[in-house]
Amino acid sequence: MSSPTPTNLLIMGAGPAGAATALRLSFLGIPCTLLDKSDFPRDKVCGDALSGKVPTLLNRLDPAIMDRFRAHYSPTDVWGIRFFPPSGKLIELPFKIGYERIPDQAPGYVSKRMDFDNFLLEECRRRPDIDLQLNTEISQFEKTDTGYTVTARDGRRWSCRLLIDGTGAQSKFSRHEARQEVDHDHYAAAVRAYYRGVTGFHPDNFIELHFLKEYNPGYFWIFPLPNGEANVGLGMRSDIVKRRKVNLRKELDKIVASPAFRERFAGAEQIDPTVGYGLPLGSKERILSGDNYLLIGDAGHLIDPLTGEGIGNGVYSGFIAAELAEKCLAENRFDAAYLRAYDVRIERVLRTELRLSYRLQQIMQWTWLTNLLTGIVAANPKVIEVLCRMYTDFELRKQLVRPTFWWKLFRAKTGKAPAVTVSGTDQP
């Protein structure tokens, strides 16, 4: 057996989480090795929606990155959400109040993962200190005194001080080495299909979440892609899929053909087979670090349990991992006690938000309650304004799960209390 190539920092998986880690390290002036089993461009089953976290974080590295993305891939610029509760009563939430549509300043985008992930990889290719190895599937891990040695299927080996696992929802390292069990109460299943010719979109490309009664908690989505295409899908929590024996592919076809959507899909054609994949949700508290390793993105179960958003959290966790890796190198410490700082920062930056989304997901299981609350919202333009601000204001968002917030609104609506004022602070 050949001796392993030594490297301090090894990142497995060049999806958004792994690529972001490598880029953040490179901008800190730290070299790393980045491995992926695929050749790029490659597809990843997804809704393809990039939340505000993605441009915000990439702009922190260098605004030229997002400029290149927009110039070469022309993603759909997204300005808000159309939210359909089980009652069907439409609520439109722009991400910014009174926005002016300047595509370069869009708060979110939709871009096929074939494009977005390839773009991030191209950014990695521009950085000479990222040693990128594609077509490299890691099949074995061995804990050593100083770190890990990993072996690829073709027999090539690497030894490292810190192993950063970004191999996604089916990560073998996360499951077998870091002992992160799949818990179906905190996992979702979803299917996606690409269509051409769907009609009836908001003129400013609002993404659409349809919380249909039969699929609660979970939702059917329609996201507008460039060139008249659309990403259409259905996702539900895995415990419910199992219990009700739901065939998501068949149900997706049923929804598209149902009277509520028939007209919008009348002239549309499906251009790709329907495909599915798992979503490890961040609703369960987990320790994502240990001696000589960190788990990032889906390998660390960091997907938002309400919205299914995982790309932004993957990128964020990659940045946090890279910033800690810099300290590890400076202090020459890679032990579990030192790496626990990763979980502390994940807690501070992402966990509060994940917990909040989980509570909202739980509330939404009560269809009557969701209908009642969304009814209050729909009847009250001031509240819609508050909700729009919640997209960027985390303190405000926290109020959504407080019964007193809704009680005051209810009383204001029925004329029994003065209009509600809500204060908050901008998210850093």
Query: Which residues of the chain form contacts with ligand FAD (CB under 6 A)?
Result: 12-18, 35-38, 44-49, 51, 137-138, 166-169, 190, 192, 233, 277, 279, 297-299, 303, 308-312, 314
Specify the residue, 49 or 230, whose C-beta has the smaller distance to ligand FAD.
Answer: 49
Cis peptide before 41 (omega within 30 of 0): yes
**Cβ-contact 232, 268 below 8 angstroms:** no
Strand partners, 65: none
Specify the residue, 135 or 379, whose C-beta has the smaller distance to ligand FAD.
Answer: 135
The runs of H, that is alpha helices, within 332-413 are: 336-346, 352-363, 367-378, 381-390, 394-398, 403-413
Sign of CA dihedral 182, 239, 193, 314: negative
Sign of CA dihedral 95, 96, 98, 102: negative
**Cβ-contact 252, 234 below 8 angstroms:** yes
Q: CB 40 → ligand FAD: shortest distance, Å?
A: 8
Burial class (CB in 10 A: 0-12, 13-18, 19+), 119: buried
The tally of CA atoms less than 13 A away on the side-chain side of residue 123 is 30
Specify the residue, 316 or 406, whose C-beta has the smaller distance to ligand FAD.
Answer: 316
Q: CB 381 → ligand FAD: shortest distance, Å?
A: 28
Q: What is the DSSP string of 186-241?
A: GEEEEEEEEEE------TT--EEEE--GGG-SEEEEEEEPSTTEEEEEEEEEHHHH
Specify the residue, 274 or 399, whose C-beta has the smaller distance to ligand FAD.
Answer: 274
Q: CB 422 → ligand FAD: shortest distance, Å?
A: 27
Q: CB 26 → ligand FAD: shortest distance, Å?
A: 17
Q: CB 100 → ligand FAD: shortest distance, Å?
A: 25
Specify the residue, 167 or 292, whose C-beta has the smaller distance to ligand FAD.
Answer: 167
Q: CB 14 → ligand FAD: shortest distance, Å?
A: 5
Residue at 178: amino acid letter: A
Dist CA 208 CA 219 (whole Å): 10
Task: List Cα–Cα distances, 387 to 49, 97, 100, 425, in angstroms.
Answer: 20, 10, 18, 14
Specify the residue, 75 or 406, whose C-beta has the smaller distance to ligand FAD.
Answer: 75
Specify the residue, 165 or 393, whose C-beta has the smaller distance to ligand FAD.
Answer: 165
Dist CA 409 CA 417 (whole Å): 8
Specify the residue, 150 or 386, whose C-beta has the smaller distance to ligand FAD.
Answer: 150
Specify the residue, 36 or 229, whose C-beta has the smaller distance to ligand FAD.
Answer: 36
Pairing relationship of beta strands 5-12 and 157-165 according to DSSP bridges: parallel
Q: CB 221 → ligand FAD: shortest distance, Å?
A: 8
Three-class secondary structure of residue 304 per DSSP: coil
Residue at 123: amino acid letter: E
Token pair 């977005």 is found at 116
- Position with the least CB separation from ligand FAD: 310
Radius of gyration over every alpha carbon of the chain, rounded to an integer in angstroms: 22
Q: CB 243 → ligand FAD: shortest distance, Å?
A: 20
Q: CB 18 → ligand FAD: shortest distance, Å?
A: 6
